[in-house]
Amino acid sequence: MSAIYPTSNLPFIGSEIEPDYTTAKVAILPIPYEATTTYRRGCVNGPSAILDASQQLECYDEELDRETGLEVGIYTHESIADTGNGKNITIRYAKSNSRNSRKISE
């Protein structure tokens, strides 16, 4: 089944690799996150820029003489939008991490 992606949310390495997420050994999770930026904004554009640049890559590995990307399977999840609530995400992560740390130490 072929998916249709908007320009800013192309799958990693284009349409050469479109496995189901349950069979892929690698998953790309584009999260445009800007909440912890201290100097200059722009991190939010990183995931789209990486996916756009990956369109110029090939799956073929000359040293191994095979299509490693196709063998491994790379699933690209749809972009997770930053709805401006990054602070709440950070707080929830910190609380969750704290609970997990306590459980591990017990």
27 lies in some domain = yes
pLDDT band at 63 (very low <50, low <70, confident <90, very high): very high
User: Which residues constitute the domain of residue 35?
Assistant: 7-105
69 lies in some domain = yes
pLDDT tens-place string over residues 13-38: 876 666 677 888 888 888 877 777 77
28 lies in some domain = yes
2 lies in some domain = no
User: What rounded mean pLDDT belongs to the chain?
Assistant: 71
pLDDT reading at 5 higher than 80: no
More confident residue, 22 or 81: 22
- Nearest C-alpha neighbor of 84 from the set 12, 31, 34, 18: 34
Q: Which structure tokens are listed for 8?
A: 């800013």
More confident residue, 65 or 77: 65
| pTM to 2 decimal places | 0.59
Q: What is the DSSP string of 19-73?
A: --TTT-SEEE------TT--S---GGGHHHHHHHHHTT--SEETTTTEEHHHHH-
Name the residue with tokens 């299509």. 67
Number of structural domains found in the chain: 1
1 lies in some domain = no
